[in-house]
Structure 1
Amino acid sequence: MVSIQKFLRYWLITVILSLFTTFAFADETTNPVGYWNTMSDKTNTVTSVVQIWEEQNVLKAKVVKIIPANGEEANPVCSKCKGDNYNKPIAGMTILWDMVPTGNNKWGKGQLLDPKTGNVYRGSMTLSQDGNQIKLKGTSGMFSKTKTWVRTNKPE
């Protein structure tokens, strides 16, 4: 009788510890919430830092820092945006909204704003297995483009 109680106690402790370990590991690699570097297609250098957060079970993202290339404006505005974003600073602007989970490490049915063109696209994204890259896909009609964001620390 005592050995069964010991077995059950050890078994329960093992299960609880396994669950904590699983949730801690899963959170690091399957959660896109955090800070991400956006990259230039031409130079493969960092152009901005974006913060993704979750609000009411949907993901949103905003530009938190612009990293201008030589000769580029340090505080650009969205001169091609329409509506409330017209001529507003890109830093601080929400550029991704309404992303909902659609599968394992996948989100979609959202919207993406390209501040350079002012265009809004249907968006989806896939988080890499290690949780350090996002493939972000914007679609308009039959055309689509995919960008890669790389996880980073909070900018200074």
Structure 2
Amino acid sequence: MMGKQLIGALLLSVISSCTFAEDITGLWQSIDDKTGAPKALIEIRQEANGSYAGKIVKITPRAGYTPKETCVDCPAPYTNKPILGLDVVTGLKHSDGSSYTNGRILDPNSGKIYSMKAKLSSNGKRLHLRGYLGVSALGRNQIWIRAE
């Protein structure tokens, strides 16, 4: 009897830790990969089709930097849209474990759209993003920190 309870408890803890580790929904603080300064708060949500999208809910002020208010150099449908409230992450799909692929990420400052993949840290507090054009080797990394 004791063995069944132990196995049940272990199974439950494995299932609950997997569920938490894979959940990227919520608020994330994006960090500038060049300066290390916080850039914006992004709210990631799961769409009806199961993919994930993320919108800018707050722009973080930084010394010596005045953020753009609209997406001036962005392609349609983002052209001249307010950056606040803009979906900058789209189509991100859970692939396996803590990995996500097939996403697209918009840099509202340059207007460029990159292919994107992401991996959630084992404790669920950091999201490692890779944005790239063409092949993943030609891209940039960013780490977003879960906002409490």
* TM-score under structure 2 length normalisation: 0.84
Post-superposition offset of 1:14: 5.4
Instruction: Tell me which of 39, 45, 49 is aligned to 1:53.
Output: 45
- The 10-residue stretch of structure 1 (102-111 or 13-22) with the greater mean CA deviation from structure 2: 13-22
Tell me, which stretches of 5 or more residues in structure 1 are unaligned? Answer: 1-6
Q: Secondary structure at the match of 1:84?
A: coil
Report sequence identity in percent.
Answer: 24
Instruction: Give CA-to-partner distance per residue, 1:24-61, whole Å, 9 cap, x none.
Output: 32222221111111112343121111111111211111
Distance in structure 2 (CA, Å) of the matches to 1:144 and 1:72: 24
Post-superposition offset of 1:132: 1.1
Query: Which residue in 2 is equivalent to 1:89?
Result: 82
Distance in structure 2 (CA, Å) of the matches to 1:74 and 1:120: 18
Larger Rg belongs to: 1
Q: Secondary structure at the match of 1:137?
A: strand
Post-superposition offset of 1:145: 1.2
Query: Which residue in 1 is equivalent to 2:25?
Result: 33
Query: Which residue in 2 is equivalent to 1:112?
Result: 105
Query: Which residue in 1 is equivalent to 2:139?
Result: 144
**Greater helix proportion:** 1
- The 10-residue stretch of structure 1 (40-49 or 14-23) with the greater mean CA deviation from structure 2: 14-23
Alignment: residue pair count: 145
Tell me, yes or no, if the aligned pair for 1:135 and 1:146 is still in contact at 8 Å: yes
Tell me, yes or no, if the aligned pair for 2:40 and 2:58 is still in contact at 8 Å: yes
With over 3 angstroms needed to count, the CA separation of the structure-2 counterparts of 1:67 and 1:119, relative to structure 1, is same
